[in-house]
Amino acid sequence: MATHTKPESPSTNLIEYTVSELAFSLKRTVEDAYGLVRLRGEISGYRGPHASGHCYFTVKDEKAAIEAVVWRGTYGRLRFKPEEGLEVVAKGKITTYPGRSKYQIVIEDIEPAGAGALMALLEQRKKQLAAEGLFEDARKKALPYLPRVIGVITSPTGAVIRDILHRLEDRFPSHVLMWPVRVQGETCAEEVAGAIHGFNAAESVLMPRPDLIIVARGGGSLEDLWGFNEEIVARAAAASAIPLISAVGHETDWTILDFVADHRAPTPTAAAERAVPVRSDLLVTVRTFGVRTASTLKRTLQTWRSRFVASARGLPRRTEILALPRQRLDDASRRLPRALLANAVAHRSGLDRTGPRLRRHLVVQAVSRGREQLMRLDRARARSVSALLDQSRRRLEGQAKLLSTLGYHNVLARGFTLVRAADGTMLRHASEVKPGAALDIEFVDGHVGAHADPRGGKAENPAKKPRRGPDDKQGSLL
């Protein structure tokens, strides 16, 4: 209905509108008639959010199409984001855009049109991620055999965390860190992805980095589990450097996270069973290994003992080994007295032959030659010592001359003095002297004791000397 009318034209009784009046009148009429509607159709022309953050696309069926817009603030709160070709049920307000004379729906919420649409979207997303290689077995990491720390991402209030803790306690008690998240709803995907990134970044003492991550949730409908089908969760799991187990839903429930995870468990309880071995079985295995090791060592010792005994039997007896050396020793001991006697006789014969040829002058000559050689050695040694002393004396004299040249006594001889404090410290500046302090003044010919002026000031100016006149002995040059 028009809000403003113009006077009737003389030629007709129709009301005259401006373009703006008619456009905004139509806008109000449409908004009043269709304040809030649910619109079912297929999304077409979706290219993602605009640079402004708003989304523009078309909702169509086989006969008609309606322009749609999602404002930036609404887009961030949507549980299901628009996807090209997805059949949806959109809730929003019908309005017009006067600037282009078209009507449109401003969407406030959007959801897939039934499970069929969700399954189609799921299959489309699976194909996309599979093409990128996120489902390949080659990129999946092996699970640790006995993790020291296990990180669990789940709801803190559900039965899932209790089932996991009880199962771990029964099998092998472990250190568990839980990261609480919402396991369904609008923020589920962002919280789960943030928890995966958070565990990977943990390095503190209060929160150590887990060796294994379990993402768990109980069963539910496809809509309830949809957060684990989001792309952000899949990419966070693929980027995790920590091995990850997906335990979402029941055995028949499959999510995209199950395909990306390093291991998929049908239930949260099964995830706990896969995470750790049974402690009692380990104890039995260890005992079995211990018994087998002891038996192996025993058999090995017995084998080596048998080989040693067999090898010992092949060795000759001790008496047989020592028989020949003992016989040689007996023969040598029998020949030894005769050999000693023969050696003494031979040396006596040689002495008898040499004795007559020995003369006194030969001994004297040998002694003389030895004495001369000793004297020559002494003289040579004395000359060496004398030369060394002369060299050291010349060096000492040179150092003494250098010391005399560089010493401060030469400076004192030119009329200077050296001032020291009472403790012998050399004083170089007047500021170092305290009033009344004892001083030692060194001249070239001795020391003189003194005390600093107790007034600490400068001495009064001495009386000016009378100026010499022309009659003085100096004479005048002027």
Alpha carbon 305 to chain centroid distance? Answer: 53
Amino acid at 229: N
pTM value > 0.75 = no
Can you list the alpha helix ranges (DSSP code H) found in 137-266? 159-171, 188-201, 231-239, 256-260
Helix (H) or strand (E) holding 395: helix 360-406
Q: pLDDT digit of tens for each residue in the chain (478 aa)?
A: 444 555 555 556 788 888 888 888 888 888 888 878 889 898 899 988 988 999 999 999 888 999 999 999 898 888 778 888 888 889 999 888 888 788 899 999 888 776 667 777 788 888 889 999 999 999 999 999 899 999 999 999 889 999 999 999 989 989 999 999 999 887 899 999 999 999 999 887 678 999 999 999 988 888 888 889 999 999 999 999 999 999 998 878 889 999 999 999 999 999 999 999 988 888 888 899 999 999 999 999 999 999 888 888 878 877 878 888 888 888 888 888 888 888 998 988 888 887 777 667 777 788 888 888 888 888 888 888 888 888 988 988 888 888 777 777 778 877 888 888 888 888 888 888 888 888 888 888 888 888 888 665 555 555 455 554 444 444 443 3
Closest-CA residue to 75 (of 53, 57, 51): 53
Distance between CA atoms of 46 and 469, rounded to whole angstroms?
120
Pairing between β-strand 438-443 and β-strand 418-421 as defined by DSSP bridges? antiparallel
d(CA 239, CA 193): 10
Residue by residue, DSSP assigns 147-162 as -SEEEEEE-SSSHHHH
Write the secondary structure of 334-390 as one string of H (helix), E (strand) and C (coil): HHHHHHHHHHHHHHHHHHHHHHHHCCHHHHHHHHHHHHHHHHHHHHHHHHHHHHHHH
CA 428 from chain centre, in angstroms, equals 57
- Paired sense of beta strands 244-248 and 212-217, if any: parallel
Q: Give the SS3 label for residue 476.
A: coil
- CB–CB of 38/19 below 8 Å? no
- Per-residue CA distances from 132 to 125, 226, 234, 242, 383 (Å): 11, 21, 12, 20, 99
